């Protein structure tokens, strides 16, 4: 029995293939608006899915890191890690967590030492209890790196100056005294 076979189509000319490839690679200005809208919608949906996948991955990575530390630190440590990722998306979360817990332990040891200094008759266990009770509240954060100009200007320090010249002179005097550090 013979099959009905379609005759072979002749190969397209190389120039036509090249033109079509160029058209596809250089964008598609000749597509109908409906098709362009659908492509834009699909790109937006793809972007949303990628963002969601990255959020899930980041949450899992943060959870993996925080699981290695004291459960009482979980919330604070999560905030520190998310802040670190916000500043630098390529940061090593394990290293950030280690630095934070080391800093926190140092603060606790300093609190114990201060307590023992103020209360010479106190035992080390009593001092540790006092230090952990004090550190269970939100710990103070380390100083920010970078310019300190924003942290120096306090409400009480603010004065209104009549002219730009007066304000400029006051700024230079503050810089000479070391009250304001513009470049770290």
Q: Is residue 152 situated within a structural domain?
A: yes
Q: What percent of the chain has pLDDT over 70?
A: 69
Q: Is residue 81 situated within a structural domain?
A: no
Q: Is residue 158 situated within a structural domain?
A: yes
Q: Count structural domains, the chain.
A: 1
How many CB atoms lie under 10 A from the CB of residue 64? 11
CB 84 within 8 A of CB 91: yes
Q: What is the pLDDT of residues 130-171, one digit of tens each?
A: 766 655 555 555 555 544 444 444 444 556 777 888 878 887
CA distance 126 to 70: 21
Q: What is the pLDDT of residues 70-126, one digit of tens each?
A: 888 889 999 999 999 999 989 999 999 999 999 988 988 888 888 888 887 777 777
Q: What is the pLDDT of residues 24-79, one digit of tens each?
A: 777 656 778 898 899 999 999 999 999 999 999 999 999 999 999 888 888 999 99
Give the residue numbers spanning the domain of 170. Answer: 147-184
């Amino acid at each position: 029995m013979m099959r009905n076979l379609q005759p072979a189509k002749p190969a397209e000319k190389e120039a036509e293939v090249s033109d079509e490839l160029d058209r596809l690679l250089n964008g598609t200005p000749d597509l109908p608006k409906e098709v362009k809208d659908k492509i834009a919608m699909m790109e937006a949906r793809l972007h949303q899915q990628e963002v969601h996948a990255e959020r899930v991955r980041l949450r899992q990575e943060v959870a993996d890191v925080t699981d290695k530390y004291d459960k009482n630190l979980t919330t604070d440590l999560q905030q520190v890690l998310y802040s670190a990722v916000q500043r630098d998306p390529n940061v090593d979360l394990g290293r950030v967590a280690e630095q934070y817990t080391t800093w926190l332990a140092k603060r606790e040891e300093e609190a114990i030492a201060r307590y023992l200094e103020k209360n010479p008759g106190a035992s080390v266990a009593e001092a540790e209890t006092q230090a952990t009770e004090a550190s269970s509240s939100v710990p103070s954060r380390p100083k920010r790196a970078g310019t300190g100009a924003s942290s120096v200007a306090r409400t009480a320090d603010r004065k209104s100056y009549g002219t730009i010249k007066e304000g400029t002179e006051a700024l230079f005097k503050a810089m000479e005294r070391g009250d304001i550090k513009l470049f770290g």
